[in-house]
Amino acid sequence: NAGVTQTPKFQVLKTGQSMTLQCAQDMNHNSMYWYRQDPGMGLRLIYYSASEGTTDKGEVPNGYNVSRLNKREFSLRLESAAPSQTSVYFCASSERGLGTEAFFGQGTRLTVV
Cβ at position 80, least distance to another protein in Å: 26
User: Applying CB under 8 A, does 102 fall inside the site for another protein?
Assistant: yes
User: Applying CB under 8 A, does 34 fall inside the site for another protein?
Assistant: no
Report the residue from 12, 20, 26, 41 that binds another protein according to the rule CB under 8 A: 41
Cβ at position 81, least distance to another protein in Å: 21
User: Applying CB under 8 A, does 77 fall inside the site for another protein?
Assistant: no
15 DSSP 8-state letter: T
Closest by CA to 71, choosing from 23, 20, 21, is 23
Piece in contact with another protein (CB under 8 A), picked from 18-26, 39-47, 63-71, 74-82: 39-47
CB atoms within 10 A of CB 29: 19
Q: Are 83 and 112 in contact (CB under 8 A)?
A: yes
